[in-house]
Amino acid sequence: MFGHELSTAQIIAIAILPTLFGIVVHEVAHGWMANRLGDPTAAMLGRLTLNPLKHIDPVGTVLVPLILILTVGFAFGWAKPVPINWENLHHPRRDSAWVAAAGPGANFLMAIGWGIIGKIASLLPAGLETIAIPLMYMGMFGMFINILLMVLNLIPLPPTDGGRIATSLLPPPLGQALSRVEPFGIPILLVLLLTGLLWRIMAPPIAATLGLIRQLIGFG
């Protein structure tokens, strides 16, 4: 994209930071919002920290992203979910939607942040290519991975964040009916992924969000 070919090792090095932060901050945002709305469980257990060691899931945070980077050139994954006692929330039905939305919201803000980093890197003067080029690639990757995580998590299918938002906002009978889909949510997503339908569903909102951020900051 910037006229330079990167090795696999360079791609992994550039991808690790935005992927790790995208996953970890997503979970911390859930716990932070829950704490503000009445549930201190995550805070009491020391999970409101950006220390990745507190959040790493060996499979979702390390193995899956690494395999995807090596095979398809991008990655997504997951961290250990922050523990939340929904009954502690001041208004459980309403507040659970805010807690769920906090994760994708954090990914959106991080996408903007990585885009700004990439934009700044693109403005560095000649002679600083060894810094500018990796930062530009990292900015682009950070934008994409965070938008990917945001859109994936907003799919209204329990147990995703979008599923929890939907069950909170729908009339109770419909919300309860949707919540009963949760045991089948992950298998359904895997089937959609394997058939290619998941990407067809996600591609338009990913492209629209990426286009919006590009217009806002003039990078990408």
Which residue bears the tokens 């965070």? Answer: 146
Round to whole Å and give the CA distance between 154 and 160: 7
HSE of 162 in the Cβ direction (CA atoms, 13 Å)? 10
Which residue bears the tokens 């995703």? Answer: 160
Q: Known catalytic residue: 27? A: yes
Round to whole Å and give the CA distance between 137 and 55: 26
CB of 18 closer than 8 Å to CB of 114: yes
Q: Using the CB atoms, write b or e for 98-136: b if 16+ within 10 Å.
A: bbbbbbbbbbbebbbbbbbbbbebbeeeeeeeeebbbbb
Closest CA to 43 of 51, 53, 34: 34
The Cα angle at residue 190 between residues 195 and 34, in degrees rounded to 5: 140
Q: Active site residue: 27, 87, 129, 182, which one?
A: 27
Closest CA to 136 of 12, 22, 4: 4
Catalytic residue list: 27
